Structure 1
């Protein structure tokens, strides 16, 4: 009998199938042609059927395709079926499924995709030939605006990426929008080294990974290992490169960005007027500060100064035009401040610094001794004679618990009388407290308003907004939220703060990577805030969730499949209306942007509608419980899929402080 007519009995994962030799082998060069020709050893069960340890349900679909050249994909997981087709080598079906799968994915992203900034083509690396840099080429230190538009930027509104040619802004357009330059350009300065390294080396790939992203107004700073590139957004030109920092020999660990400074900066007798943006970079204990002015050609860059904090900088930020560097290294905690108008740098010990927040011109500092201190930046110039930052104690925790998170909310009343302030803070022992400065208690410290002891692990995040109090503890980012009742904009004691939700924003990120993968909450305090959930370190998927109840707003996936290395949410003012953008830096060196404004507004309106319906029906205890917004984090199926690429054995355990008998008694 011919092989074509021979019956083949198969045992697929315990399910018996019978078919013909011809059906299994009409597609050439497959698993079955190799199996039946003897090139693959066979294993047979007790009945003599060939045993193959695969999914019988998916195999049944593949066998029907081999029989009929047709397939019914109703209620079929296309990705799983495609995986099986690849295993068996059924190329005709695999190609069809690939097209079906690609119908839902695009390198242009979905409707939320806002822009793409490609990685540097020939990014600079630190000088490795010596301090004088004599062996490092300084060619091509500047580039034309056309080079920038054609090769360096891409957004929804302009330019092109590395894959497809799009619309390129003309040179006249760029001259009207600002002065663009290539990423390898020194912007008219010669103090940076431009050593290049072949892109195929591992060192190159690690150096060109996006490490940190910061945004302010319509500016974005993208930090790589040794340099920072700055982009600006305009309605006509979209995103384009404006400046680049000098290449640093040491690894950049922190950056700070301040746009629209509008003042003047002077360093060593050089006056820089019309400054568009200021950029601070921290490496170890050293802080470097530059001012960039885009009102000249080429872009003018002025080094304001290099400052030494004395200990490693752990936080770098601007409070207004002042640059602040903080370190929380135990008893050696320090604060360094550089003031724009006086051009003066000061450092001072701030013992046991653990956390901070800003409110207007105030910088609030939480400490391990339970004290909340503050520095008033507006009074900074008046204290030049005694060289004292005047770190003043505002409040002391009643149990002297170490303060690990702090959030300040300035109510509308603050702008009227200036002495109403609300502060929420969390402690190492899991307590969450709210303190309030009343107008009638001016001259006295804030009063303790309310205490929550629901967390059993250290509180890592706390946020007090107009409508919600949100806290996060270290047990896999467990979140508790409360609804805040207000009267004339101020916290009301009747009926008081009520529990809202409890959920987890699971993140299996290494502790060293968390500063640049902060889950949030993000957003202004008078609007709905959000969490960004990145479950595993190497993933192209992020989950956007409401901070108030954990419901999912949307799911973000990289348009090119590259893993997300860092992210931040920023209010962008460069568009026709303010947009809330999610900016993702990738291991490929690219930066991808997603417009979350619409989904967040829709989710917030849905919650308001549900809350109104619940209130009108008299059921006040189930607010948001019947919201049609999908549940928050990854489903079990999504989570398992994410964890397949994650080595759980190498994942650090959550930090949990055991409940010891010495824990302070709560009031």
Structure 2
């Protein structure tokens, strides 16, 4: 019998198949042609069948394709089948599956994709490791001069089209081929790419060009790299475009703060409308803080160095409270607060012992301490006490058990005609307690009163959030979340019927504590709207899970359009569009920034309504499915990664080298845009 008609018996993972020699070999240069020609050694079972240790179900699909040149992909994991095709070398089927797989992915993203900001290549590799940039930045832009013009002002009519092709570094392969990365000139074939960087230089380049921090305020975004910051502005007519760039810093940038002050109408010296925005940018490296003001009313943009300030200890958090720049450090007994006041142009520092956490409310900065005290600073009183250098740190409340306070959240009820704001404060402690205290405006002199205590956590609290409708707490056990629905009467928190438990779930994030300040899971969102968690499971991933903070329900899954890993993210309300949009802003290791519009998705997910029927609805704790007509208060399925998704993510993560989540001593509760 010729080979063409010979029957081949196969044992694939314990399942037996019989087919012809011709069926297995009509595709040239495959695993089977090498196997049947003797180039690959064979292993046979007790019946003499050739044993191949692969998935029999997927092999059955491949064998049917070899028999009929056709395949049914209903209820088939295309990625897994493509992997098997690549293993067996079935190129015709692998190419078809690749096209099917790519039909679900696009460099233009999905419907939530909002824009792409390319890497800024104004800075070259650090020289001699000291962080100084090479000759791509002018001398004017690399020195801290008092007044100069912003460099590299680019413009794009459509941020999701033109900006996506300028200065982009889509992959590490392109980076390896060309030390300068990809640029518009490279697209035209005019870039000198003959120099190939050595591996250490490549690593230094990627570390320098990775987006370290991303912040937003109003219609502005600040994207921080290792040694400089680029500022973007959003307008209705032009989309996002580069407006300013900071001078190149010798030290690695560790913290940034952005404040966009919207000015009124009028005309400038050129007769143009001055309805632009003045922007203030703060940068912290170690104990040093630098503050710039950017005047955007005229051309060219003017950059003014307001000053360089020294906190005395490493700055752990940098933020604006109104127009005041605040630097905080919680380094044990050497905790300090530094404030630059915009009206007095004065920098002050003061010891605030045992600082552990903070929150802001209006002009107030609240400070939690390891001694159980909650202190506050009223920024409006600064001009009255400049001479004696007193920040007016005042104790507001003392925990009844003197437990160290590790998280704090302030909620100011809307003012009424009869009284002012009812102040509500939720805080968490190192021993797992969550407490709510309230203060009526008519009893300010008596201090806040303890309203309610929850002792449901067994680990230190890392963050809390008190909003109009929910109380949310997170502990250090893999970001375990508890949420309660808050009852209000005339806008004020009420005991009738009181707070009721809503949900318990985890927001797993296997990332080193040093990366957590720039990859904080949240909750994000204003206190009068639905808040959300952003879940980044492993350090090097292109996938983020957006989940409702109230019940853990998954809103959507975000995947970068160029498959580059997400290095940092934040959520902010951007006001430059025709109506405010809630955007997820992601910085990437490629140096790009990508934006996703979550507004409609969150509104849809948070809208009360009946859950799906028994055929698709999640199961309750006793195993029964939801009934038709049950509403959002019913138990919901956890919205984090499914076991299949989690295993796929963890396959690229070294769990032994990943530190367990720990309590960050000074942790922001609402890492939103600067107030």
TM-score of the superposed pair, with normalisation by structure 2: 0.85
Contact kept in structure 1, 2:571 and 2:672, CA below 8 Å: no
Cα distance in 2, alignment partners of residues 618 and 49 from structure 1: 44
Contact kept in structure 2, 1:184 and 1:194, CA below 8 Å: no
C-alpha distance 553-660 of structure 1, shift in aligned 2 (>3 A): closer
Deviation of 1:586 (Å): 0.8
Secondary structure in 2 matching 1:378: helix
C-alpha distance 286-107 of structure 1, shift in aligned 2 (>3 A): same
Cα distance in 2, alignment partners of residues 119 and 108 from structure 1: 17
Secondary structure in 1 matching 2:280: strand
Task: Give the unaligned 5+ runs of structure 2.
Answer: 608-614
Deviation of 1:309 (Å): 0.3
C-alpha distance 176-124 of structure 1, shift in aligned 2 (>3 A): closer
Contact kept in structure 2, 1:160 and 1:167, CA below 8 Å: no
Deviation of 1:131 (Å): 8.6
Contact kept in structure 1, 2:142 and 2:247, CA below 8 Å: no
Contact kept in structure 2, 1:5 and 1:21, CA below 8 Å: yes
- Deviation digits for residues 103-139 of structure 1 (CA, Å, limit 9, x no counterpart): 1111111110000011124534445489999999759
- Deviation digits for residues 76-103 of structure 1 (CA, Å, limit 9, x no counterpart): 1111111111111111101111111111
The residue correspondences of 1:310-325 to structure 2 (distance < 5 A) are 310-325=312-327
Contact kept in structure 2, 1:187 and 1:243, CA below 8 Å: no
C-alpha distance 149-58 of structure 1, shift in aligned 2 (>3 A): farther
Deviation of 1:267 (Å): 21
Secondary structure in 1 matching 2:165: coil
Secondary structure in 2 matching 1:267: coil
Deviation of 1:173 (Å): 33
Contact kept in structure 1, 2:325 and 2:339, CA below 8 Å: yes
Deviation of 1:525 (Å): 0.2
C-alpha distance 115-629 of structure 1, shift in aligned 2 (>3 A): farther
- Deviation digits for residues 463-500 of structure 1 (CA, Å, limit 9, x no counterpart): 00000000000000000001100000001111111111
- Deviation digits for residues 39-92 of structure 1 (CA, Å, limit 9, x no counterpart): 222222222222111100000000110111000111111111111111111111
Deviation of 1:654 (Å): 3.8
Report which stretch shifted further, 135-144 or 643-652.
135-144
C-alpha distance 264-46 of structure 1, shift in aligned 2 (>3 A): farther
Contact kept in structure 1, 2:209 and 2:225, CA below 8 Å: yes
Deviation of 1:319 (Å): 0.2
Deviation of 1:276 (Å): 1.4
What root-mean-square deviation, in Å, do the aligned CA atoms of Structure 1 and Structure 2 show? Answer: 8.1
- Deviation digits for residues 400-447 of structure 1 (CA, Å, limit 9, x no counterpart): 000000000000137963452000000000000000002342311100
Report which stretch shifted further, 328-337 or 259-268.
259-268
Deviation of 1:563 (Å): 0.9
Secondary structure in 1 matching 2:293: strand
C-alpha distance 640-221 of structure 1, shift in aligned 2 (>3 A): same
Deviation of 1:564 (Å): 0.7
Contact kept in structure 1, 2:228 and 2:245, CA below 8 Å: yes
The residue correspondences of 1:162-241 to structure 2 (distance < 5 A) are 201-241=202-242
Contact kept in structure 2, 1:31 and 1:87, CA below 8 Å: yes
Deviation of 1:271 (Å): 20
Contact kept in structure 2, 1:194 and 1:247, CA below 8 Å: no
Cα distance in 2, alignment partners of residues 147 and 308 from structure 1: 24
Report which stretch shifted further, 502-511 or 169-178.
169-178
Report which stretch shifted further, 147-156 or 101-110.
147-156
Task: Give the unaligned 5+ runs of structure 1.
Answer: none
State the match for 1:88 in structure 2: 88
C-alpha distance 109-187 of structure 1, shift in aligned 2 (>3 A): closer
Contact kept in structure 2, 1:219 and 1:259, CA below 8 Å: yes
Deviation of 1:348 (Å): 0.2
Report which stretch shifted further, 307-316 or 36-45.
36-45
State the match for 1:415 in structure 2: 417
Report which stretch shifted further, 574-583 or 151-160.
151-160
Secondary structure in 2 matching 1:414: coil
Secondary structure in 2 matching 1:625: coil
C-alpha distance 224-234 of structure 1, shift in aligned 2 (>3 A): same
Q: Kindly tell me the number of residue pairs found equivalent between the two proteins.
A: 662
Secondary structure in 2 matching 1:185: helix
Secondary structure in 1 matching 2:289: strand
- Deviation digits for residues 545-588 of structure 1 (CA, Å, limit 9, x no counterpart): 11011111111111111111111000010000010000011111
Report which stretch shifted further, 647-656 or 401-410.
647-656
- Deviation digits for residues 579-599 of structure 1 (CA, Å, limit 9, x no counterpart): 000001111111110000001
Report which stretch shifted further, 487-496 or 39-48.
39-48
Contact kept in structure 2, 1:533 and 1:543, CA below 8 Å: yes
Deviation of 1:382 (Å): 0.9
- Deviation digits for residues 230-264 of structure 1 (CA, Å, limit 9, x no counterpart): 00000100000001111111111100000026899
Cα distance in 2, alignment partners of residues 494 and 282 from structure 1: 47
C-alpha distance 415-106 of structure 1, shift in aligned 2 (>3 A): farther
Contact kept in structure 1, 2:409 and 2:426, CA below 8 Å: yes
Secondary structure in 1 matching 2:380: helix
Secondary structure in 2 matching 1:355: strand
Deviation of 1:623 (Å): 8.2
Cα distance in 2, alignment partners of residues 394 and 25 from structure 1: 81
Secondary structure in 1 matching 2:60: helix
Report which stretch shifted further, 121-130 or 83-92.
121-130
